[in-house]
Chains A and B, each alone.
Chain A
Amino acid sequence: MTTKTVSLKIDGHDISVQEGTSILEAAIENGIDIPHLCFLEGLTKTGACRLCLVELKGQAKLFASCSTPVSDGMEVITDSVKLKEYRKKTIQLLLSERTHVCSVCVANKNCELQALADKLGVDHVAYEREWTGEKVDSSHPFLVIDRNRCILCTRCVRVCDEVEGVHALDLKLRGKDSQIIVDFDDSWANSTSCTSCRKCAKVCPVGAIYVEGEPLSQTKDRNIANFVLSRRKK
């Protein structure tokens, strides 16, 4: 199949990429950085975190760059004053939603949320913080889930379903009560479907799922989904 090339502008730079590429992927390919959290190369794009929002010239709405495909002549703006302000708000909301204490977190210095907060200059959280006290599930021989640190990006759910092919993880409830669950909301040790492949820990952007006793710098692997899927027989 021959694929068409599409030309567009991102922040004034002329770039051309293959048709079907998303704006975010096009930006990454060309070294333009658009902050993002729920997006992970290889996994379904959910457009959930809203960090990667961009403006399209001539359109009043904002678009999630991870899930919006490029089109010819498109002019993308990734760093307007409004977008910067909105990204800061999004990070602050995520930080305020649950108990995020970097200094005692296993992901300290290996955390995508922390890195983005630092990078975007989120020097404080204007919203009152929730101090959730969910029980940490460390029943599994080596996988631990601390839901107090979860930002509901669902990378773990997607990698388990789409790459490992097991779908041991999903979400329960909804809204601010949403939680990652294992099987029938069981403790992890009692899961009959989990294969202990630890892909969930590899893709978790924060310190919500991790391997006990292993430094996160070693566990984390942003490329895992892409690696497995690109080598899978079509």
Chain B
Amino acid sequence: MPSNSKPKLATLWLSGCSGCHMSLLDNDEALLDLAKNIQLVYGPLVDTKAFPENVDITLIEGAVANYEQAAFLKEVRKHSKILIALGDCAVTGNVPALRNTIKDSANAVLQRAFVENSDKQPLIPTDVPKLLRKVYPLHEVVKVDHYIPGCPPPAGNIAYVLTELLAGKIPIMENKSKYG
């Protein structure tokens, strides 16, 4: 199959630890089969600057924690046919969203990170993207088509979902999904 007619896959890394991407890579030799059937057009694993148009499948790791991410996610949604929340941060908010349990968390976390815990020059930097009042899972910001929970999601589940989708089928998560 010529590479330009193969389905386009993008991956995205928002507020998360990159563990989900690691898990994707944990598919080892299965990746080679996957690579035969897709073209990877965007993400931390490739060197593309702008999010391309007409992406078939976008895997997104991480929760939405700042304005920049929210705006970017909305753009990505526009250009993605299928959008998948990858891992607990994207699905539930997970660890990044733990700040939601405290009052005025956007300021509180900056205060803790840059002022309270700083030995020298306690100062909140101005070039940190503005934090949202709350951290959101993806589906509270945009429409999400499929979910692969897990912290990290098992490599096999990622492969399963992608294989099914590439075969034009709908993945079924019963007895498969894996929180935590």
A-side interface residues toward B, CB under 8 Å?
Answer: 95, 99-105, 108-109, 111, 114, 117-126, 128-129, 131-133, 148
Give A66 to B54 CA distance when docked, in angstroms: 51
Give A119 to B174 CA distance when docked, in angstroms: 6
A-B contacts, 27 listed (Cβ < 8 Å): A95-B92, A99-B98, A101-B88, A101-B92, A102-B180, A104-B95, A105-B180, A108-B180, A117-B177, A117-B179, A118-B177, A118-B178, A119-B174, A121-B174, A121-B176, A123-B91, A123-B146, A123-B177, A124-B91, A124-B139, A124-B147, A126-B139, A129-B92, A129-B93, A131-B97, A131-B101, A133-B102
Give A64 to B146 CA distance when docked, in angstroms: 32
Give A190 to B98 CA distance when docked, in angstroms: 29
Quick check: B85 and A124 within 8 Å, CB to CB? Answer: yes
The minimal Cβ–Cβ distance linking A207 to chain B, given in whole angstroms, is: 10
Quick check: A101 and B94 within 8 Å, CB to CB? Answer: yes
The minimal Cβ–Cβ distance linking A84 to chain B, given in whole angstroms, is: 9
Contacts of B85 in A (CB 8 A): 124
Quick check: A124 and B137 within 8 Å, CB to CB? Answer: yes
Contacts of B134 in A (CB 8 A): 131
The minimal Cβ–Cβ distance linking B91 to chain A, given in whole angstroms, is: 5
- Of the candidates B174, B175, B176, the one having the most CB atoms from chain A within 10 angstroms of its own CB is B174
Quick check: A119 and B175 within 8 Å, CB to CB? Answer: yes
Give A25 to B101 CA distance when docked, in angstroms: 39
Closest residue of A by beta carbon distance from B134: A131
Verify if B31 is at the interface (C-beta below 8 Å from A). no
Verify if B35 is at the interface (C-beta below 8 Å from A). no
The minimal Cβ–Cβ distance linking B20 to chain A, given in whole angstroms, is: 12
Give A105 to B139 CA distance when docked, in angstroms: 23
B-side interface residues toward A, CB under 8 Å?
Answer: 85, 88, 91-95, 97-98, 100-103, 134, 137, 139-140, 144, 146-149, 151, 172-180
The minimal Cβ–Cβ distance linking A103 to chain B, given in whole angstroms, is: 4
Give A124 to B140 CA distance when docked, in angstroms: 11
Q: Which of A108, A121, A122, A128 contacts B140 (CB 8 A)?
A: A128
The minimal Cβ–Cβ distance linking A220 to chain B, given in whole angstroms, is: 16
Give A202 to B74 CA distance when docked, in angstroms: 45
Contacts of A121 in B (CB 8 A): 172-177
Quick check: B93 and A132 within 8 Å, CB to CB? Answer: no
Quick check: A103 and B177 within 8 Å, CB to CB? Answer: no
Closest residue of B by beta carbon distance from A134: B101
Apart from A102-B151, A118-B179, A126-B139, what 19 extra A-B contacts exist at CB < 8 Å? A101-B95, A102-B88, A103-B151, A103-B180, A104-B95, A105-B180, A117-B177, A117-B179, A118-B175, A120-B174, A121-B175, A123-B148, A124-B139, A124-B147, A124-B149, A129-B92, A129-B97, A133-B102, A133-B103
Closest residue of B by beta carbon distance from A107: B180
Give A129 to B94 CA distance when docked, in angstroms: 11
Contacts of A129 in B (CB 8 A): 92-93, 97, 137
Contacts of A119 in B (CB 8 A): 174-175
Contacts of B94 in A (CB 8 A): 101, 103
The minimal Cβ–Cβ distance linking B65 to chain A, given in whole angstroms, is: 13
Quick check: A132 and B101 within 8 Å, CB to CB? Answer: yes
The minimal Cβ–Cβ distance linking A108 to chain B, given in whole angstroms, is: 4
Given contacts A102-B151, A148-B101, contact A125 B174 (CB under 8 A): no
Contacts of A109 in B (CB 8 A): 180
The minimal Cβ–Cβ distance linking A116 to chain B, given in whole angstroms, is: 10
Closest residue of B by beta carbon distance from A111: B180
The minimal Cβ–Cβ distance linking A132 to chain B, given in whole angstroms, is: 7
Given contacts A123-B147, A132-B101, contact A103 B95 (CB under 8 A): yes
